[in-house]
Amino acid sequence: MSSHDYWTGRCHLRAAAPTARHWQADTDDAVVTVVVRAESETDMRAHLHATLDAEGLTLVRLDAVQTLLQRFRREGMSKMLLDLADATSLRTPVALGEMLPLLPEATAPIEEPGPPAPPVHYDEVTWSDLFTSTALTSAPLWAVIDGVNCRDVMQRLAGADVQSACLYATTDTATRAIAPWLVRLEPDSEIRHWLESLPHDQHWGILLQSHATLKQLRSHLRKYTMLWTPVNDQASVYFRFYDPRVALDMAQALAPWKLSAFMAPLETLIVGISPLMNVPDMANLSDVPHFATTPEELQGRLLRLALNDSDTERHGEANPVTPGRSFAIDPTEFARFGALQKTRAQRKLARELMESYDTTPLADLLAAVEAAEKLGQRYAMTSAKQVATLAKCMLEFGHDFLHEYQDAKGILNHPSMLAWQKRKLMEEWIPRGRIRRDFLKQQAQTRVQPGAWVESP
């Protein structure tokens, strides 16, 4: 039977009589880890109840239910669980671990969260700040350059005398060309001046300060290039923490202990500020950027992130993640990432609409985008282009335009039309809507009010 057919969980048991106790303490309650060979979670629970009933035990609570494959992916391999799995068979599908008694005054243990990290501190710096005499006595400066957003990184590094390493293990040239690259930066190096000249809205990568060696830092960062999400526990996805937008989202979305684990070998993480970033309100900035800020206004402005735990030793190799263990986020963290990504997408669309509606207040642009997203969900028009078209309609004709323009409503309510077809027809309808709007406006302005004096021609 394949590994995903082995189920594990943590049981709170109660003995029906003193003779049913499988432990020495004078208490009827105990906890135990169990592995069950079963077709499904329902099947697993049925086998477990049958085995416990035969032993004179009652199941008070069962939690942390998951397959062994899911458990190993999230927390690494466990010899104890493997031994329990080997002890099962078709005839005896349930294997119980050591039963630990619960004293009457104690409560059933719960899974404790990891150690909380202090709040993140954000402050603004410049490139020159990173190479002052004071900075030079601190941790060395590194860059993680994104090969996707910076396509000539491999060529640049090939001709430079710097410490560098690809974060991917592949030897395929095409894949390495778009991979993230870890590079040690020196004050007067060509790579340093090249990165400083790149526009921030290119999102070329991030900067790090760390005392770790190239080998140590590469080994640590490689653990975070892949990510397990609640959407699919059967396959991981690429995690682009080296995109400055994602890095800033990560600092706000991860549980404190996970961010602390990521930052373990790092003194600071530094990103170039760009207009569409989710800069937190607590950031210490001289001038908080808006989504309408031009990239040129932000060029050279960097945001430095550090954990407020100066007493923590960060030198040498840090290994907060169990070897072989992949990085995973829980549903709460996944929802935070989603909310931050949605905010960035809304700002991006509002920024694009500025070109056509340059006199419209920025708050109105954002409000139109948010309202268009809600309207788009009602009519299954959820792509960026479809939402943009609906936002245009709201900016042109008001948020309740469907009440005034029945022909537009008829397009959106068409039962057999696909979303892309509705968008196309709505784009064609907008000029006609303008004609109707302007005509009605003109009629309202020239309409004679009752009782008004009108001279004969």
Confidence category of residue 447, pLDDT binned at 50, 70, 90: low
Same domain as 223, residue 77? no
pLDDT above 90 covers a percentage of the chain that reads 62
Q: Is 107 a member of any domain? A: no
How many other C-beta atoms can be found within 10 angstroms of the C-beta atom of residue 376? 22
Q: Let me know if residue 347 belongs to a domain.
A: no
pTM of the model: 0.67
The total number of structural domains in the chain stands at 3
**Both tokens of residue 388?**
């943009």
For residues 95 and 127, state if they share a domain: no
119, 122, 123, 127 alpha-carbon torsion, rounded to 10°: 130
Q: Quick one: pLDDT at residue 233? A: 78
Pair (36, 170) in one structural domain: no
- Count of Cβ atoms closer than 10 Å to residue 432 Cβ: 12
Whether residue 109 is predicted with pLDDT greater than 60 in this model: the reply is no
Q: Is there a single domain that holds both residue 218 and residue 363?
A: no
Residues in a beta bridge with 37 = 6
**Domain limits for position 194:** 120-339
Question: Is 345 a member of any domain?
Answer: no
- Residue 31 forms part of a structural domain: yes
Assess whether 312 and 197 both reside in one domain.
yes
Q: What is the rounded distance in angstroms from the CA atom of residue 321 to the CA atom of residue 331?
A: 20
What average pLDDT does this structure show over 166-182?
93
What is the spatial distance between Cα 312 and Cα 321, in angstroms, rounded to a whole number?
17
Q: Count CB neighbours of 276 within 10 A.
A: 20
Task: Cite the DSSP H helix spans in 275-330.
Answer: 295-298
Same domain? For 313 and 253 the reply is yes
pLDDT at 134: 62
Q: Tell whether 399 and 258 lie within a shared domain.
A: no
Together in a domain, 206 and 298: yes
Q: What is the pLDDT of residues 333-377, one digit of tens each?
A: 999 999 999 999 999 999 999 999 999 999 999 999 999 999 999
275, 309, 339 - which closes a domain: 339
pLDDT above 70 (res 268): yes
Q: Are residues 91 and 184 in the same domain?
A: no
pLDDT digits (tens, 9 = 90+) for 188-238: 899 999 999 999 999 999 999 999 999 999 999 999 999 999 988 788 899
Asked if residue 286 has pLDDT above 70, the reply is yes
Give a yes or no: residue 453 inside a domain. Answer: no
In the predicted structure, residue 454 carries a pLDDT above the cut 70 = no
Across 327-331, average pLDDT: 91
| 306 and 210 assigned to the same domain | yes
* Domain-located, residue 195: yes
| Portion of the chain with pLDDT greater than 70, in percent | 88
Same domain, 369 and 434: yes
Q: Does residue 361 share a domain with residue 256?
A: no
pLDDT of residue 25: 81
Q: Are 218 and 165 in contact (CB under 8 A)?
A: yes
The stretch 138-146 carries a mean pLDDT of 92
